[in-house]
A and B are shown apart, each in its own frame.
Chain A
Amino acid sequence: MGRAYRGLLHACAVIAALLLGVTALLVTGDVVARNVGLGTLPWILEVSEYVLPLATFLVAPWLLARNEHVRLDVLLTALPAPLARALGRTGDLLGLAICAVFVIYGARAIASSAQQGSLVIKSVVFPEWWLYAPVPACFGLLAIEFARRLLGHGGPPVATGPHA
């Protein structure tokens, strides 16, 4: 169970990574084509905009499972262990609650957009709710991760994340 779950998170992260790589190639191809007079494909620009949120939501649960989201753990490491543990658990509980809110309202955003039949009309036309579809899925996985931590399955809260 644990392995399948890790595998799923890793697969999502790999998809995000490949999406970014392919986007870099597409945008480069577009620049080259335009500058040698082959014209431009307007949908490439648009697609690269949508890839950003998609990749972000795909990679977020993997990052949480690896403890790589930036957090301030200086205070926690300075406190006595039992107090730090209690605060850490409070944080996990709040994280779970926050993710639950995002799952519920993410689903509602999808439902209301689908009900109204809203469309995104640019070079590419598609139902607007597609944009919101990754939100509940991402926060659902994040909620599972916080729940696992509360049940004592999460990794140790040590690392500070990568950063630009």
Chain B
Amino acid sequence: MVWWLAATVLFGLLMALFAIGLPAAFAFFGINAVGAWVWLGGDPGLVQMIRNGVASISSFSLTPIPFFVLMGEVLFHTGVAMKAIDAIDRLIWRVPGRLSVVAVVAGTVFSAISGSTIATTALLGSLMLPEMLRRGYHPSMAMGPIMAIGGVDMLIPPSALTVLLGSLAGISIAELLIAGILPGVLLSAAFVAYIVVRAALDPALAPLFEHERLPAWDRWRPLLVYVMPLVIIFVVVVLAMTAGWATPTESAAVGAVATVAVAWIYGSVSWSNLLKALLGTAGISGVILFIIVGATTFAQILTFSGATNGLVEAIQGADLAPLVVLGIMMLILLVLGCFIDQVSMMLITLPFFMPLVQHYGFDPVWFGVCFLICMQLGLLTPPFGMLLFTMKSVAPKQIAMQQVFAAVTPYVVFGVLMLLVVIAFPPVATWLPRVLFGK
């Protein structure tokens, strides 16, 4: 079978399975079963598929995923996250669009401790959205920042999806985690600036209301008590990785245990909420890892069918400028992001993209950050942006899906701009890891 026919059949079947609503993991298993039979030698190929499936997730490089997720789940289920948000709420006042700004700042802090974009969005959405709408905030002013900052969670470590990208693409996980910090923080800052300007120009979008004036100590104390320990955990996790005291897995495990310890010191941990946090962790990690079970076999089938080499050689032979190739890759990711989930995106594209990255001599960490920004945008773009659905599920009933779509649009534009900035100025992504890892 010629490579383009093999590629068309494989991807056509995969898309058909996605379209009839089969869960993504099972769609990959189905393709793998058919592909293993056709290209990996029938019966032995299918036995190999099982072995590959187990091997693809028995990897030390993937173990940070549940631990990073656990950090966020613990904060969420023990209520410590709410106390942190409240602490930030006390500090920000007399700013146009105050509650939206609080959401972005709290979301940024929470990102630095949570490995799960969905936990961040669900948390801020369920806690802050009702209050914002009650205060007469326009739905776009209320929902947009929460979804946007949920997406940024993917860039700011700890991040489960960054670990996965590093592991699947063979990019240094520690460097990739660090490389996301600067673009993530810049995006948060841009969101705050946008909210303030917009609310100042049109105060009806975010009506001002009298905020309780507290003495200085009452304003700052909760920050010291509830936010500083979280920031310290973040610094320790990042330091342990960069200083070489611990691998990403070990840093993640220490971070998770430290988060439980901090919550315990606040007296917020009970057996029941700890079990809820662990179950949530098993659920979220299980969803990601179950899709990965198909990873190795899927990549092998793409190789054996000739699809990988055929497409990669065709692109190399087309004599395109490296930047054009990069642009095409990013465009593919942005389009895929509208329809499929982040893990599937990685599985489908990385077998093709990484040989091209190597061929054109792109810095893998820089490429990884561009990839992450595209995936982050995929969380926010209709019709299948995961955070849009998360927001819809925690928003009051009268909010229509169209309003959710409209609310997120300006922030998607910021994300695209950030992608262009990183492409044009690679140090935005590569400077921090270079300084910290001394390369």
* Residues of A that sit less than 8 Å from B by CB: 13-14, 16-18, 20-21, 23-25, 27-28, 30-31, 35, 45, 48-53, 55-56, 58-60, 62-64, 68-76, 87-88, 90-91, 94-95, 98-99, 101-102, 105-106, 108-109, 112, 131-132, 135, 157, 160-164
Contact = CB atoms under 8 A, between A and B. Distances in A.
B284 A163 contact: yes
A95 to B, nearest CB: 5
Contacts of B29: 98, 102
A22 to B, nearest CB: 10
Given A55-B282, A64-B23, A75-B19, A163 B54 contact: no
B275 to A, nearest CB: 7
Contacts of B160: 164
Interface string B1-45: 000000000000000011111111110011001000000000000
A2 B254 CA distance: 40
A52 B253 contact: no
A102 B50 contact: yes
A35 B339 contact: no
Nearest to B159: A164
B306 interface: no
Contacts of B24: 69-72
Q: Which of A25, A51, A75, A87 neighbours the largest number of chain B CB atoms within 10 Å of its CB?
A: A75
Contacts of A56: 57, 285-286, 289-290, 293
Nearest to B24: A70
Interface of B: 17-26, 29-30, 33, 46-47, 49-51, 53-54, 57-60, 62-63, 65-67, 69-70, 115-118, 159-161, 245-246, 249-250, 253-254, 256-257, 274-275, 278-291, 293, 339-344, 383-384, 386, 389
Nearest to B343: A70
A161 B287 contact: yes
Contacts of A164: 65, 69, 115-118, 159-161, 284-285, 288, 342
Given A28-B257, A135-B54, A49 B60 contact: yes
A45 B70 CA distance: 19
A45 B60 contact: yes
B275 A14 contact: yes
Given A71-B18, A164-B285, 18 more contacts: A17-B275, A21-B70, A24-B253, A28-B256, A30-B250, A51-B63, A59-B283, A60-B290, A63-B283, A74-B383, A74-B384, A87-B20, A91-B17, A91-B22, A94-B22, A101-B46, A132-B54, A163-B116
A20 B70 contact: yes
B286 A16 contact: yes
A74 B341 CA distance: 13
B23 A70 contact: yes
A164 to B, nearest CB: 4
Given A70-B291, A74-B384, A131 B54 contact: yes
Contacts of B23: 64, 69-71, 95, 161
Main secondary structure of the interface of B (DSSP, over half): helix
B380 to A, nearest CB: 13
A131 to B, nearest CB: 5
Contacts of B281: 17, 20
B196 to A, nearest CB: 30
A163 B283 contact: no
B54 A162 contact: no
A17 B278 contact: yes
Given A94-B22, A164-B65, A24 B257 contact: yes
A59 B59 contact: no
A75 B21 CA distance: 8
Contact of A98 (B33, B253, B287): B33
Contacts of B54: 53, 131-132, 135
9 contacts: A18-B278, A20-B282, A24-B257, A71-B21, A91-B17, A91-B21, A101-B33, A108-B47, A163-B116
A94 B17 contact: yes
Contact of B67 (A24, A87, A102, A160): A24
B58 A53 contact: yes
Contacts of A162: 116, 118, 280, 283-284, 287
Contact of A105 (B46, B62, B340): B46
